Amino acid sequence: MFPLDQTSWQGTMRVCINDEQKDWVDTGQDWTSRDERIMVVHLNIGSELLSLVIAYGPNKDEKTETKVEFYKALQRELDNAKGKIILLGDLNGRVGKWSDRAAWRKPFEQ
């Protein structure tokens, strides 16, 4: 397990690599902590560049400004990512209101 900034365990996100698979760490691959919620991992798989953008979004109880800043930062990372992009993580997104929960259940009740 490697910490985000490769030197400390201050961040909340980690990169876990199986011992048999960790040779990419020594072959010029990199990961960068953008902040405590967003990490970018670059991998060369054969001749392909793969950018993993890993994000942990603010909870619904966070301030609106915090959520807006998170999604702006995430969009910047996605815009700047190279190669094939995979977005991973828990964005803590919500669709609709809790009071509308019966509406989304209806298609599954048949």
pLDDT of residue 56: 93
Spans in the chain with pLDDT lower than 50: 1-10, 26, 28
pLDDT of residue 34: 77
Residue 38, Cβ density class (10 Å: 0-12 exposed, 13-18 middle, ≥19 buried): buried
pLDDT of residue 9: 42
pLDDT of residue 73: 95
Residue 40, Cβ density class (10 Å: 0-12 exposed, 13-18 middle, ≥19 buried): buried
The residue assigned the tokens 């209806």 is 106
